[in-house]
A and B are shown apart, each in its own frame.
Chain A
Amino acid sequence: MGHVELVDLSKSYDKQKSVLDGINLTIEEGEFFVLVGPSGSGKSTLLRMIAGLEEITGGTLKINNETVNHLPPKDRNLSMVFQNYALYPHLNVEQNILFGLRAKKVSKQEQQERLMEAVEMMGLGEYLKRKPRELSGGQRQRVALARSIVSQAPLCLMDEPLSNLDAKLRAHMRIEIRRLQKRLGLTMVYVTHDQVEAMTMGDRIMVLNDGKIQQVGKPIHLYNEPANLFVASFIGSPKMNLGNAVFVEESKELVIENALSIKNNSAYLENIKRTEKLKIGIRAEHIFPATSETATHHLEVVNVEQLGNETIVAFDIGAELWTAKWAGQWSVQVGERVPVKIDMDYLCFFNAKTGDLIRPAHFSKEKEVAAI
């Protein structure tokens, strides 16, 4: 049974161009559902529609199998963390956190218990008596989180709740939120820009672009088999390397961006239409370092980023900038020509015109078969 169901949902402001269009989606009970998409793609709008803060232009919204299009927010039994926190500036941290519980006339003792729990989890103990304007951005954000946690509503909506925290705190909060969600069995709809958050926290991810669903699925599935070029370039960091490609029949080669040719030694590519305009994509970690013997190509390095545990190396491939991610520390210099291994099996094929996936990388198929 789905907890939240969106059936052909759409939204337009003032009868203008639609901000959201044809959204069909079921979010299961107890699921951690992550919403990603570029700025202005309609993530907040979708969240606000579920919350009941935004009029639904078309379609139906069901919560617990009941149509709730007409219900005001307070009757939908949910909590929300706003993108801009929406803290009450005239109330101190404690009053802010307890605002909802007081409105619902929860007993004083219960209030204190929930307050203490949330405060401890968010590390806000020292700030209880402060007003929001006396807090840093990250502290405010944690107050907003605490406020939604104490409500213990079964459905929790969060709009970029960790965007203002430092890396360490963010990693900590990720785990805390995930643990809390598991423990209370909350259904979570979670908007984020952060790749790591999306990949690590979500049971499923939905990618939204321009108000349309691009793909919904498990994080790994989205990573390995992006449904289209948009998802391919949006999920994963660094982003998937993309390039135009054509098959050259005479030499049985695939030529990428007129710069890189790969021997077509893979039988499974048989049924890709050779006449179609193609785009290929390859993950940065699939451009392997090689010795001169195993190398398929020698590429000129245009940039090197040392991250300590891995090295990001960038190459110019025709008009595109490709990156390779190699484990460990590699001492390569800009301008150097390094041997790399690029294998046909790791290429994803896309229709260049529609952007749709024709065939995912071969290795992921193999693994899935192995898993079954």
Chain B
Amino acid sequence: MSMPNTIAEPIESKLDFEHYKRKERIKSWAKGMLFLLPSIILFTVFLFYPLVRTIYLSFFLTNAAGETTVFVGWENFARMFNSPIFMQSMKSTFLFVLYTVPLTIIISLFLALLANEKLRGIGIFRTIYSSTMGISVAAASVFWLYLFHPSIGFLNMIVTGLGFERIGWLTDPTWALIAVAITTIWMNLGFTFLILLGGLQSIDGYLYESADIDGAGYFYKLKNITIPMLSPTLFFVVTVTIINAFQTFGQIDILTQGGPQNTTNLIVYSIYREAFVNYQFGSASAQAVVLFIIILIMTIIQFKLGERKVHYQ
């Protein structure tokens, strides 16, 4: 007679339990959504919608106001890849990434290693090295514009002082991209330096003490402790620097406006010109989509490679 009771009870409580769990889940989901809502709204308005809109536009021709006129399918893309100007722009962009990214990383790593030493007055150097972070693109570009000035620029004064011919930094097709790259490296140094220094400081000092006792030299420690321990930070910095390099715009606009002979017409600047100078919103969107895909692929490759090489604690 007590049997039904003993059986019924657990089932009932189990049902209750399930119900309770489901309610908890819904509640926690709702709470999560509530917290995410601001980001979701912002992302939707400023990112997802423009992204979808750009892809949509890339299949159309538009009028000067940006309204779609004719659906052309893949024609925008086809025309783009046949255009020597666009190909030049792609080439410049990749060259630019190649010039800026490794140098930025190497120089800022070097500075960070220096600034990580325990020396008197090192705080001053840390401040100086990271100071470019606080300078806007416009200010930095104008500053470099003066340095690059063909006759009164400081750089050419050095060059002529050393007995060489003046260089048309921003007007000579062989030099313009390099000049912009130098400016960009200089501007990126502050941020990269600061992140790397932070990474270096978070490495446990005991590891170096242990290595010191083992008799490891400076470069052995650098190769076997510092770099591996810094790899997550390095990875982050490389990713960000690459993406930044692909998206360079401000310094081009101020220094060269894409010239001379389109050698500094990097892809974002090219998109800008196509859209807001030539009013070809369709083909500008197609370029933007290509840029998006390039960055996406680069990032995926990096993460795939990074997974193997990067040591996460």
Q: Is B20 an interface residue (CB 8 A)?
A: no
Min Cβ gap A132→B in Å is: 10
From B204, B213, B217, B224, contact of A80 by CB (8 A): B213
Q: Does B5 contact A (CB under 8 A)?
A: no
From A90, A91, A100, name the one whose CB has the most chain B CB atoms within 10 angstroms: A90
Contact with A along B206-241 (1 / 0, CB 8 A): 110111111111001000110011010000000000
Cβ of A308 to closest chain B Cβ, rounded Å: 41
Complex CA gap A79/B213 in Å reads: 6
> Which segment, of A70-78, A114-122, A179-187, A338-346, faces chain B?
A70-78
B216 touches A103 (CB 8 A): yes
The reply to whether B213 and A103 form a contact with Cβ atoms under 8 Å apart is no
Contact: B214 with A72, CB < 8 Å? no
Which residues in B have their C-beta under 8 angstroms from that of A73? 209, 212-213
A84 to B217, CA, bound (A): 23
- The distance in angstroms between the C-alpha atoms of A51 and B212, with both chains bound, is 10
Determine if A15 is an interface residue (Cβ-Cβ < 8 Å): no
- Pairwise interchain contact A53-B216, C-beta atoms closer than 8 A: no
Within 8 A of B (CB), among A104-149: 104, 133, 147
B53 within 8 A of A: no
* Neighbouring A residues of B211 by C-beta, 8 Å: 99-100, 103
Q: CA A52 – CA B209 in complex, angstroms?
A: 9
Are B213 and A99 closer than 8 Å at their CB atoms? no
Known contacts A99-B224, A103-B217, A103-B220; decide if A86 and B212 are in contact (CB<8 Å).
no
**Are A80's CB and B216's CB within 8 A?**
no
Question: Is there an interface contact between B204 and A86, defined as CB atoms closer than 8 Å?
Answer: yes
* Nearest A residue (CB) for B221: A103
How far apart are the CA atoms of A79 and B207 in the complex, in Å?
Answer: 14
Q: Is the CB of A74 within 8 A of B311?
A: no
Bound complex: CA of A271 vs CA of B212, how far in Å? 56
Per-residue contact bits, chain A 242-281, to B (CB 8 Å; 1 contact, 0 not): 0000000000000000000000000000000000000000
Q: Which of A51, A82, A86, A99 contacts B216 (CB 8 A)?
A: A99
- Among A74, A88, A90, contact of B213 (Cβ-Cβ < 8 Å): A74
Chain A residues 52 to 75 lying within 8 A of chain B, measured CB to CB, are 52-53, 72-74
The CA-CA distance from A90 to B228 in the complex, in Å, is 7
The verdict on B6 contacting chain A, using a C-beta distance below 8 Å, is no
Contact A74 to B216, CB < 8 A, known contacts A88-B225, A89-B311, A99-B224: yes
Report the minimum CB–CB distance from A89 to chain B (whole Å): 6
In the docked arrangement, what's the CA distance between A103 and B211, Å? 9
Report whether B220 and A82 are in contact in the complex, using a CB–CB cutoff of 8 Å.
no
Which residues of the partner chain A approach B311 to less than 8 Å between Cβ atoms? Answer: 89-90
Pick the contact of A100 from B215, B229, B231 — CB < 8 Å? B215
Interface of B is mostly: helix
Return A145 CB to nearest CB of chain B, in Å: 13
Question: Given A89-B311, A90-B228, are A74 and B209 also a contact pair (CB < 8 Å)?
Answer: no
CB distance from A194 to the nearest CB of B (A): 23
Q: Does A151 contact B (CB under 8 A)?
A: yes
Is there contact, CB below 8 Å, between B224 and A82? Answer: no
**Assuming the A-B contacts A88-B225, A89-B313, are A82 and B212 also in contact, with contact meaning beta carbons closer than 8 angstroms in the complex?**
no
B217 near A53 with CB under 8 A, answer: no
Roughly how many angstroms separate A84 CA and B225 CA in the complex, as a whole number? Answer: 17
Please give me the residue from chain B that is nearest to A75 by CB atom.
B215
- Are A82 and B210 in contact, with the CB atoms below 8 A? yes
Q: How far is the CA of A151 from the CA of B211 in the complex (A)?
A: 12
- Scoring B207, B213, B217, B231 by chain A CB atoms within 10 A of each residue's CB, the highest score goes to B213
Contacts of A82 in B (CB 8 A): 206, 209-210
Docked complex Cα distance between A145 and B215 (Å): 17
Q: Are B214 and A103 in contact, CB atoms less than 8 angstroms apart? A: yes
Give Cα A91–Cα B242 distance, bound, in whole angstroms: 29
On whether the beta carbons of A104 and B206 are closer than 8 Å, the reply is no
Q: Which B269-313 residues have a C-beta within 8 angstroms of A?
A: 311, 313
- Give B220's nearest chain A residue, CB to CB: A103
Closest residue of chain A to B215 (Cβ to Cβ) is: A74
A82-103, CB < 8 A from B:
82, 84, 86, 88-91, 99-100, 103
Which residues does chain A contribute within 8 Å of B225, judged by CB atoms?
A: 88
Residue in A closest to B209 when the chains form the complex, CB atoms:
A53
Q: Quick check: B206 and A74 within 8 Å, CB to CB?
A: no
Residue of B nearest to A131 (CB): B311
B-to-A contact residues, CB < 8 Å: 204, 206-207, 209-217, 220, 224-225, 228-229, 231, 311, 313
Supplied contacts A52-B213, A90-B231, 17 more A-B pairs, CB within 8 Å: A51-B213, A53-B209, A73-B209, A74-B216, A78-B213, A80-B210, A82-B206, A82-B209, A86-B207, A86-B209, A88-B225, A89-B229, A89-B313, A99-B214, A103-B214, A104-B214, A151-B214
Closest 6 CB pairs of A and B: A100-B214, A103-B216, A86-B206, A74-B215, A90-B311, A86-B210
19 contacting pairs across A/B (C-beta < 8 A): A53-B209, A53-B212, A53-B213, A72-B212, A73-B209, A74-B212, A80-B210, A82-B209, A86-B209, A88-B225, A90-B228, A90-B311, A91-B228, A99-B210, A99-B214, A99-B224, A103-B215, A103-B220, A133-B313
